[in-house]
């Protein structure tokens, strides 16, 4: 089952992400822009595009009965990224923004990971950074801009542009992964294994993320499942959130 109406999905994501952003950075109500969750540049609707966090090329390798039973969008997890060319250190990067960047550096590695036999597969640091970045996007998808605009969000956004090695600020616990055997069959009892690609639990200063048969951690500055003040200008520090709008590059 392929599915589905991506234009409508894009519009739904756009409005959901806009209202979340406005609740944290109220002056965005005066424009019609979003911040790209990875480069943090302001983008208009036409410069954004739907991103499959678990890439389509990985989903295409799912067993036929899974592909038949569960739509692609559900198995993937969707968000919006920019599709406007990146300019890094004065040079235009070929392709369409963060969407192409993820497609080039991370999607092939994610496909390999999700189809790997870990008894024999050799894992390199690009694989691990790919997982980290997919986990970061899954966190933004679930908890919104409070993840992207936090101190560790800035670190993760920076990491996104360093595909080959972990930055030294990334905690060591977030540079490793635990793996199990992957499933290759489908039954209604294990539907959520396929339909809910990321299961996330908050564990102190990290989010423990399970992507199918792979577990790993992504750092967090604060627990995004706890309430923060979105209306009061002055709130007790426990409930306050100061968005960090710095970008990694101009
Ligand atoms: Zn971007």
pTM for the whole structure: 0.93
Q: Ligand 1 centroid to 36 CA: how many Å?
A: 5
Q: What is the pLDDT along the chain (250 residues), one digit of tens a residue?
A: 555 567 799 999 999 999 999 999 999 999 999 999 999 999 999 999 999 999 999 999 999 999 999 999 999 999 999 999 998 888 899 999 999 999 999 999 999 999 999 999 999 999 999 999 999 999 999 999 999 999 999 999 999 999 999 999 999 999 999 999 888 888 888 899 999 999 999 999 999 999 999 999 999 999 999 888 777 777 777 777 888 888 876 5
Are 73 and 9 spatial neighbours (Cβ–Cβ below 8 Å)? yes
Residue 250 in domain: no
Residue-by-residue DSSP string for the chain: -----HHHHHHHHHHHHHHHHHHHSGGGGGSS-EE-TTT--EE-GGGEEEEESS-HHHHTTS-HHHHHHS-HHHHH-EEEEE-SPPEETTEEPSSSHHHHHHHHHTHHHHHHHHT--TTTPPP-HHHHHHHHHHHHHHHHHHHTHHHHTSHHHHHHHHHHT--SS--TTS-GGGG-EEE-PPP----GGGHHHHH--EEEEEETTEEEEEETTEEEEEE-SS-TTS---SS-SS--GGG--------S--
Provide the CA 218 distance to its chain's centre, in angstroms: 11
pLDDT given for residue 1 in this prediction: 55
- In 3D, which of 196, 220, 61 has the Cα closest to residue 139? 220
Domain range for residue 181? 6-239
**Cα of 52 to ligand 1 centre, how many Å?**
14
Distance 97 CA to ligand 1 centre (A): 6
Q: Is residue 148 part of a domain?
A: yes
| C-alpha triplet 46, 52, 54: angle, nearest 5° | 160
Distance 37 CA to ligand 1 centre (A): 7
**CA end-to-end span of the chain, whole Å?**
41
Cα 80 to ligand 1 centroid, rounded to whole Å: 9
- Examine residue 244 and state whether it is found in any structural domain, yes or no: no
Domain count, the chain: 1
Separation of 3 CA from ligand 1 center, angstroms?
Answer: 25
pLDDT of residue 4: 59
- Give the per-residue pLDDT at 105: 97
CA–CA gap between residue 35 and residue 44 (Å, rounded)? 9
List, in order, residues 6 or more apart from 173 with CB less than 8 Å away.
206, 217
Q: Tell me, yes or no, whether 247 lies in a domain.
A: no
User: How many A from CA of 182 to the centre of ligand 1?
Assistant: 32
**Residue 1 maps to a domain:** no
In a domain, 249, yes or no: no
pLDDT at position 56 is 95
For position 5, what pLDDT does the model report? 66
Q: For residue 186, report the distance from its CA to the centre of ligand 1, in Å.
A: 35
Residue 175 lies in a domain: yes
What is the distance in A from the centroid of ligand 1 to the CA of 104? Answer: 14
- CA–centroid distance, 92 to ligand 1, in Å, is 13
- Considering the domain boundaries, does residue 157 fall inside one? yes
- 153: CA distance to ligand 1 center in Å? 14
């Amino acid at each position: 089952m392929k599915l589905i109406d991506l234009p409508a999905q894009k519009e739904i994501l756009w409005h959901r992400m806009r209202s979340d952003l406005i609740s944290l950075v109220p002056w965005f109500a005066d424009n019609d822009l979003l911040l790209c969750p990875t480069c943090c540049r302001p983008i208009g609707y036409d410069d954004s595009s739907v991103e499959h966090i678990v890439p389509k090329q990985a989903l295409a390798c799912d067993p036929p009965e899974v592909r038949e039973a569960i739509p692609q969008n559900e198995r993937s997890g969707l968000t919006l990224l920019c599709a406007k060319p990146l300019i890094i250190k004065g040079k235009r990067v070929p392709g369409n923004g963060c969407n192409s960047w993820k497609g080039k550096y991370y999607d092939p590695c994610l496909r390999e990971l999700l189809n790997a036999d870990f008894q024999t597969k050799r894992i390199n640091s690009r694989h691990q950074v790919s997982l980290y970045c997919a986990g970061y996007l899954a966190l933004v998808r679930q908890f919104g801009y409070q993840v992207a605009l936090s101190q560790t969000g800035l670190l993760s956004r920076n990491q996104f542009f360093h595909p080959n090695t972990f930055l030294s600020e990334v905690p060591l616990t977030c540079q490793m992964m635990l793996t199990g055997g992957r499933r290759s069959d489908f039954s209604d009892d294990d539907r959520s294994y396929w339909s809910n690609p990321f299961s996330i639990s908050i564990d102190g200063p990290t989010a423990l993320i399970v992507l199918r048969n792979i577990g790993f951690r992504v750092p967090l500055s604060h627990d995004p499942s706890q309430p923060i003040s979105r209306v009061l200008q002055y709130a007790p520090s426990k409930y306050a959130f100061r968005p960090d709008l710095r970008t990694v590059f101009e």
